[in-house]
Chain A
Amino acid sequence: MSQTVPLSVPPQPGPWAVELVGIDKRFGPVHANKAVSLRIRAGSIHGLVGENGAGKSTLMSILYGFYQADEGQILVNGAEVRIREPKDAIALGIGMVHQHFMLVEEFTVLENLMLGAEGGALLKDGIRKARAEVERLEKAYRLDVPLDAKVADLNVGIQQRVEILKALYRGAQVLILDEPTAVLSPPEVQDLFRILDALRAQGRTILMITHKLKEIMAITDAVSVLRQGAVVASFHTQDTNEAALAEAMVGRRANPAVRRPGAPAGAPLLTVEDLSIFDERGVERLKRATFRVRAGEIVGVAGVAGNGQSELLEALSGMTPFQRGRVHVNGRDVTPESPMDPAQARRQGIAHVPEDRLRRAVVKPFPAFQNALLGYQDDPAMADGPRLNWKRVAAATARLMEDWDVRPRQPSLRTSLFSGGNQQKLVLGREMERDPNVLLVGQPTRGVDIGAIEFIHRRLLAMRDAGKAILLVSAELEEIMALSDRILVMCDGAITGELAAEDATEGLIGRLMAGITDDMEHGSRADAAGGAA
């Protein structure tokens, strides 16, 4: 197996490197994996796709020994094995690159590589051996990394290479990659794919989790689709296409919501000019964003996670100060010199449903009615002088629960005992019922069941029709396309394009997400995600 032409070569019918048989796993009431069976050919790249919460990461964590399956068998190279902890997996030649890198940032690259594979009680000999071996691996796979640099000083692309090297240094024959491209820029993705290709050429087996179908088509030999904890389909990559995979992922024709155009949009309610955010290292995370959101329209923001969308929401909601530019909202000018905090933002009629609902939109140990007040604790209608009137808050919460179909309808129940979808409805209700002019909403349906998704979409459209301005950030392209009247596409902190809903196609948005703008389009660039050619 020394071919270097990577794409769409049928996997040689060879032995199975890994076989998962009837893997079943529950976390309390959540059935994360339902009798999953999966076989992966040695020397192939096997994709694992599915929506958020489909059980992909759990399955791979079981293979890596991070969790124990409740039932089922694992076979490696045809022999049944028991993997109780990562140590067992490593011994079997299984390596994993986690989505959140498992690196010690204060350590050098070399120290990270050696951790757990030091080669003796003293470091001295190990260091020499490690250097030699790593340099060999680096050459074999063109995985250049500065061995003596501190990991904290490296960018994510290089950190990911360190993770891959780490697995190879431990002798991994099977490499699991969890959403490896989520944090990478398009050129870094190309680089990664080149490395994966070289690994396959050397006979290593790769299991790649992703929810990006283009990547599946670009690099894998075979693909399995997980939905709600179960494998619902497996294909040879050459026998399938994105549409079929998407359908398998969501369990019905993708894009079912018929976009319902609203009335022509009115006056701008939110104007953003030249907005930039720099992080503590001075890197520009949001680059001169300029756009408007008008009354009666939903503006969607599309992009690969981590390309500035979060920063944009944070700046507009007042949670993060910005260093350049101007935001005009409801008669107020916000600039770096006169910033706006989240409380002031709410007073300006900006409501915010944050991306990371569990971490910041609710306080989990509080009863639901207290979370229904979160952010609006200054509302004079809910207090008598200094005293908060909890009875009134609870009554209002009960109405909100009715209106938003939050189940169970128990305002005094601990918030953490509600399901993700019901928590999200509580948050959306809280943010939308006070009649804001502008709604900033991030990932409104992440981790929410299908019924609730449709409900939430209907409410967002209804709010738009009531003449409000909505800025929608979502990782789900289908969601953006189904709801938005206009679409902004972001890449590497900059807005790379603005499309009217009628003109938006997945291909066009995809190119803009990869940072390929109009002036480059006429060149010979291929689609970045598949551009290993």
Chain B
Amino acid sequence: MDDTALWIVSLLASTVRLATPLVLASLAGFYSERAGVVDIGLEGKMLTGAFAAAATAAVTGSPWAGLAAAIAASLLLALVHGFACITHRGDQVVAGVAINTIAAGLTAVLANAWFDLGGRTPSLDGGQRFLGLHFPLAEAVRGVPLLGRFYGEVIGGQNLLVYLAVLAVPATSWVAYRTRFGLRLRAVGENPAAVDTAGISVPWLRYRAVLITGLLCGVAGAYLSIAQGAGFQENMTAGKGYLALAALILGKWRPYPTLAGCLLFAATDALQARLQGVALPVVGAVPVQIIEVLPYILTVLLLAGFVGKSIPPKAAGQAYVKDR
């Protein structure tokens, strides 16, 4: 009994930890895509952020400097994305692929050259990372069955960036539905011509959206390398950017459902790690790959309209050209 409770608590805690980068990255995607700029490049921006954070933290010893560097690096790539897709009306998907490819190569090359550890950055110690915050009374209530551990290890005990991600969801929802910027953001993703004729600059609006995307991707990357992890490894995002995109699709481009998607994916990930080689009742040992691919299969089925239907913002993927 107690074992089961412990198991559940640790599963939940691990779900929260695994969901954090997905939440940050999919909210990042939310801004860009709701503004009509498809972003396949979340992966690359996150990866670059992860490298910049770890490298900076290793050199300066400050996680805050690491976070700032991650955001700056990711913003730079966001600007490249904006320059190609907004200013030059390039193909948004191709631009995203280019960013992912450049990021994959560049982080590996620079990590290898600067630290000479075969594409890794040095391991970071506690002072160079964002560590779990101890909540008041966590020790005191630890003895309370289930809830005590839940309070100490799931609600509390997480690092700062986790709480940032948790706050980012209502904040995004508020921005999108309660502010002028949000109204315009949603409008420009549906009908940029309506925004243009209303006297609002389409490029500037889209640039701002893309920059927010860069900012959040930077935080997501920093989380991977200097909060959850203790250093950068080659390709350490390992598809999380694409998974975040899938969660955004699953959430039909809305903040809270997207959060639910992220939690679902994170839970399957956490479960998968715990079921490795475990024989389940009735079915026996299930190949972990089956659990691992659930998010991908779900996304495919959803996009194909077999499970509900997810319709993207109408102008997503199209460059805005004044036409006559």
Contact = CB atoms under 8 A, between A and B. Distances in A.
A106 interface: yes
B198 interface: yes
Contacts of A103: 191, 194
B314 A85 contact: no
A121 B180 CA distance: 5
Contact of B179 (A89, A122, A166): A122
Contacts of A117: 198
B190 A115 contact: no
Nearest to A100: B193
Contacts of A126: 180
Interface string B199-220: 1110000000000000000000
A96 interface: yes
B183 interface: yes
Interface string A46-85: 0000000000011001001011000000000000000001
Contacts of A98: 197
Given A105-B191, A124-B178, A86 B196 contact: yes
Given A104-B190, A106-B314, A86 B178 contact: no
* Interface size class, chain B: 20 to 34
A96 B197 contact: yes
A98 B196 CA distance: 12
Contact of A116 (B178, B191, B199, B314): B199
Interface string A452-489: 00000000000000000000000000000000000000
Contacts of B324: 27, 57-58, 61
B303 interface: no
Contacts of A500: none
A431 interface: no
B166 interface: no
A111 interface: yes
Report which residue of B179, B186, B199, B314 has the largest number of chain A beta carbons within 10 angstroms of its beta carbon: B199
B88 interface: no
Interface string A93-115: 00010100011111100011011
Contact of A115 (B178, B179, B184, B314): B184
Nearest to B177: A123
A102 B180 contact: no
Contacts of A188: none
Contacts of B186: 104, 106-107
Contacts, number: 80
B181 interface: yes
A212 B184 CA distance: 36
B190 A120 contact: no
B313 to A, nearest CB: 8
B191 A85 contact: no
A87 interface: yes
B36 to A, nearest CB: 12
A417 B184 CA distance: 38
Report which residue of A58, A122, A124, A166 has the largest number of chain B beta carbons within 10 angstroms of its beta carbon: A122
Given A66-B197, A102-B197, A104-B194, A114 B178 contact: no
A105 B198 CA distance: 15
Report which residue of B180, B186, B201, B324 has the largest number of chain A beta carbons within 10 angstroms of its beta carbon: B180
Contact of B200 (A88, A91, A116): A116
Interface in B168-195: 178-184, 186-187, 190-191, 193-195
A118 interface: yes
A96 B198 CA distance: 10
A106 B195 CA distance: 13
Given A66-B197, A116-B200, A102 B191 contact: yes
A87 B191 contact: no
A199 to B, nearest CB: 20
A90 interface: yes
Given A86-B196, A90-B199, A116-B198, A104 B191 contact: yes
A229 to B, nearest CB: 14
A107 to B, nearest CB: 7
Contact of A85 (B181, B184, B199): B199
Contacts of B178: 122-124
Contacts of A121: 179-181
Given A104-B187, A106-B314, A123 B179 contact: yes
B108 to A, nearest CB: 39
A111 B191 CA distance: 13
Nearest to B315: A104
Contacts of A107: 186-187, 190
Given A102-B191, A103-B194, A114-B183, A87 B314 contact: no
A126 B314 CA distance: 26
A111 B194 CA distance: 12
A118 B180 contact: yes
Contact of B183 (A85, A87, A89, A115): A115
B181 A115 contact: no
Nearest to B199: A87
A103 B195 CA distance: 9
Contacts of A116: 184, 195, 198-200
Contacts of A64: 197
Contacts of B201: 85
Contacts of A87: 199-200
Report which residue of A67, A104, A117, A124 has the largest number of chain B beta carbons within 10 angstroms of its beta carbon: A104
B193 A102 contact: yes
A86 to B, nearest CB: 4
A126 B181 CA distance: 13
Nearest to B313: A106
Contacts of B199: 85-91, 116
B262 to A, nearest CB: 24
Contacts of B197: 64, 66, 86, 96, 98, 102
A120 B181 CA distance: 10
A89 B196 CA distance: 12
A31 to B, nearest CB: 14
B194 A102 contact: yes
Given A58-B324, A66-B322, A107-B187, A102 B179 contact: no
Given A104-B190, A106-B314, A122-B180, A115 B322 contact: no
A179 B194 CA distance: 18
A165 to B, nearest CB: 13
Contacts of B180: 118, 120-123, 126
A96 B187 CA distance: 18
Contacts of B322: 66-67
A98 B199 CA distance: 14
A106 B201 CA distance: 20
A87 B180 CA distance: 16
Contacts of A88: 199
B35 to A, nearest CB: 13
A118 B183 contact: yes
Given A98-B197, A102-B198, A104-B186, 10 more contacts: A57-B324, A67-B322, A102-B194, A105-B190, A107-B190, A116-B200, A121-B180, A122-B179, A123-B178, A123-B179
5 contacts: A86-B198, A104-B186, A104-B191, A117-B198, A123-B183
Interface of B: 178-184, 186-187, 190-191, 193-201, 314, 322, 324
Across the A-B interface, the 6 shortest Cβ-Cβ residue pairs = A116-B198, A87-B199, A118-B180, A102-B194, A102-B197, A86-B199
